[in-house]
Structure 1
Amino acid sequence: MTLYLDTPSAAQQAEALVGRHFRLADHYEVGREKIREFAQAVQDDHPAHWSEDAAAALGYDGLVAPLTFPAIVWLQMQRTLFETELTGYDISQVLHTEQQVRVHRPIVAGDDLVSECSFESFRQFGAMDILVMRSLLRDGAGRPLQTAHSTVVAQTGVELVGDLAATVAGVVQPPATRGDTGRPGAARMAECAEGPAEVAETSDRPGRIRFEDLRVGDRLPEHRVALSRGGLVNYAGVSGDTNPIHFSDEIARAVGLPDVISHGLLTMGFGAGYLTRWLGDPGAVVDYGVRFAGFAPVPADRNSTIEFGGRVKELDPVERTATVLVTATCGDRKLFGRASARVRLA
């Protein structure tokens, strides 16, 4: 079997999505053990993710989900869209290039997550198709939790031939016919007449860092994360990101990568934990955005190390917030082209 990706139908499908709106038909129930699993996958040891007593001491009603926990739902929505609306693309050719998150209220155990999204734009740049979508997560009562803007790039003009094409198909989707959302466990979507509303309000929880103790230019303590192939597989299982470039040497090389690479949302999750560890409260991040500039290769026989750093760029005395620039490097590779967070201070 030969799978051709550079077909008019792929771009036409993407163009036809602009201005359309979808909602996952079912909600996602946030369980405390899933919070712990996700915290372990992103190596976030903040006590509020693990101990209900620690979460209660900060004023939460249950375990607090790590900032990028909604990746589970974002990826479910994305996977369903590629299975049903964007069938001209191959998931192994799709890369996350930018993610922005605005926190309206921290997510805690027991929340029901209702997800809706709107396709904002589509454009082509050479052999790359660039898609931008906006997602809104609400709780079961309709209150906003997070707004996210996601940019993904689908590479076209690539041909996967024979056994390799079959391997990709077997790894990234069930053996059922693509687009079959009637199979057991498949996510279902409903198209909506209107997109998710814009939400202005943001989380009002302050961290434990005092505004008066910071100056523009102050640097955050550096932090290192060791990442193994096992860690990649664990994150793939917990998050649902089954793109084989994150665990298959054969497929990674076939699409032009030097090795298996880390998930972009995983490195973003490491960065979120870096910020909340410094702030002392997982709910103190107001906005967090990352533009991915590079990837962290993870060899089969040893760990890779990602180094995080941060610097205070701006201070707002009225809102008592700080804008922090975050850096992430793996060896001589710069992983974040631009990463910043607005955080609330005590």
Structure 2
Amino acid sequence: MTSSGTERTQAIETMIGKVYTTQDYYEVGREKIREFAHALHDDNPVHWDEAKSAEAGHDRLLAPLTIVVLDGTKAQAQLFEMIPGNPLKSGVLQVEQRFIFHKPVTAGDRLKSDVSLDSYKSAAGADLFTGKTVIRDLDKGVMQESWTTLAGPGETGDGLTDEFERMVDDVMFSPTASHVLPLVPAEAAEIPDDEPRAFGAIPFDSLSEGQEIPSRTQRFTRGDLVNYVGVAGDPNPIHHSDELAAAAKLDTVVAQGMLTLGTAAGYLSDFVGDPAAFRELSARFSSAVYVPPTEAAVVEYTAKIKTLYPETKRGLITFGATVNGKRVFGKCTALVQFS
């Protein structure tokens, strides 16, 4: 960790490791699972058909891997608002995302989000924040861990202007804040021992190292971006406002990072057979997916089996995505428990 010695840096450093939690729980609805799967273009029947989900070993409808963003992202935003200078108002960009999956999320689960600032670096006028989120079910315990890394201009860098912030205020959804419950201090949750289950995953013996997974081409339109804004509750106007995108020095509006990554997870789970077989998923965001006003951005997803571990029947998948030959993700991996 790099410390500049400023009061702001010292104040941020004192926050590292302090855990806060949501006061109320988020109940995962069956229809919300289907809405979220639809937003991610994910047709895996375990998200749509309760009988198919039961066949894979789940007692209720299974949620897509990244559905925890619905509540976890809001809790994380509240955490970053507590940081001196509120980096969310400085023009931060998401640069990395990592998940560890302990138990699958299904309809009816009652989730709470524990958030903390995991690390902070400040160098050459730039800030790098990593927030950690632990998702807990009231009855099942820890379900997921995730780490989100954001990069911003820092205290001495070129942040967003007052004029830009006023533009944002005039474009963003204007909800009442009276019902928003503040985060409360909490103790760090105990992370469970690994108890892998393959659920409905394909057989380990059917795979070989170097095996390529059939590619998938996915179109993203402005309608897809706006739909994801509504389903996931992502308020960032650079995903729907040309004026704000231009003011942020972007070519045009951009697809949400978690939309493209969530769709990648669905692409991989179609091959694996059951999303609940995933143990880890991580990606580094290399470049934005620009979506023009009247035509779709076309993303091509590719993947292959990099390494197989016979002693555990696990496999490491590497995957990527490109738009017109330009890489969208970098250093992307998924660890899967095969049957």
What TM-score do you get using the length of structure 2 for normalisation? Answer: 0.91
Distance 2:335 2:294 in 1: 38
Q: Greater shift after overlay, 277-286 or 164-173?
A: 164-173
Match of 2:300? 307
Distance 2:125 2:233 in 1: 27
Q: Are 1:231 and 2:210 matched, yes or no?
A: no
Are the counterparts in 1 of residues 89 and 160 from structure 2 also a CA contact under 8 Å?
no
Distance change >3 Å, CA 243–CA 115, structure 1 → 2: same
Match of 1:318? 311
Match of 2:3? none
Match of 1:4? none
1:134 Cα shift?
1.8
Distance change >3 Å, CA 337–CA 166, structure 1 → 2: same
CA RMSD of aligned residues (A): 2.1
Q: Which residues of 2 match residues 325-344 of structure 1 at below 5 A?
A: 325-344=318-337
1:11 Cα shift?
4.6
Distance change >3 Å, CA 258–CA 125, structure 1 → 2: farther
Match of 1:189? 183
Are the counterparts in 1 of residues 17 and 118 from structure 2 also a CA contact under 8 Å?
yes
Give the partner amino acid of 1:79: A
1:266 Cα shift?
1.0
Match of 2:285? 292
Q: Are 1:271 and 2:269 matched, yes or no?
A: no
Distance change >3 Å, CA 319–CA 175, structure 1 → 2: closer
Are the counterparts in 2 of residues 233 and 247 from structure 1 also a CA contact under 8 Å?
yes
Q: Which has the higher contact order (CA 8 A, sep 6+)?
A: 1
Q: Which residues of 2 match residues 129-278 of structure 1 at below 5 A?
A: 129-156=127-154, 157-158=157-158, 160-161=160-161, 164-172=164-172, 174=174, 183-192=177-186, 194-278=187-271
**SS of equivalent to 1:93:** coil
1:55 Cα shift?
1.1
Are the counterparts in 2 of residues 249 and 260 from structure 1 also a CA contact under 8 Å?
yes
Give the partner amino acid of 2:184: A
**SS of equivalent to 1:48:** helix
Give the partner amino acid of 1:73: D
Match of 1:31? 29
Q: Are 1:104 and 2:97 matched, yes or no?
A: no
Count the aligned residue pairs: 332
Match of 1:63? 61
Are the counterparts in 2 of residues 94 and 152 from structure 1 also a CA contact under 8 Å?
yes
Distance 2:35 2:284 in 1: 26
1:82 Cα shift?
3.3
1:212 Cα shift?
1.2
Distance 2:286 2:83 in 1: 28
1:160 Cα shift?
4.2
Give the partner amino acid of 2:302: G
Q: Greater shift after overlay, 256-265 or 61-70?
A: 256-265
Match of 1:121? 119
Are the counterparts in 1 of residues 100 and 280 from structure 2 also a CA contact under 8 Å?
yes
Distance 2:14 2:306 in 1: 40
1:114 Cα shift?
1.2
1:105 Cα shift?
0.8
Give the partner amino acid of 2:165: A
Distance 1:170 1:188 in 2: 24
Aligned-residue sequence identity (percent) comes to: 34
Match of 2:40 among 39, 42, 50: 42
Q: Deviations over 1:222-258 (max 9, x none)?
A: 0111101111111111112111111111221222211
Match of 1:53? 51
Q: Greater shift after overlay, 149-158 or 163-172?
A: 163-172
Give the partner amino acid of 1:188: P
Q: Deviations over 1:268-288 (max 9, x none)?
A: 101100111111112111111
Distance change >3 Å, CA 249–CA 162, structure 1 → 2: same
**SS of equivalent to 1:324:** strand
Match of 2:77 among 56, 76, 79: 79
Distance change >3 Å, CA 322–CA 161, structure 1 → 2: closer
Distance change >3 Å, CA 203–CA 228, structure 1 → 2: farther
Give the partner amino acid of 2:62: V
1:145 Cα shift?
0.7
Give the partner amino acid of 2:183: M
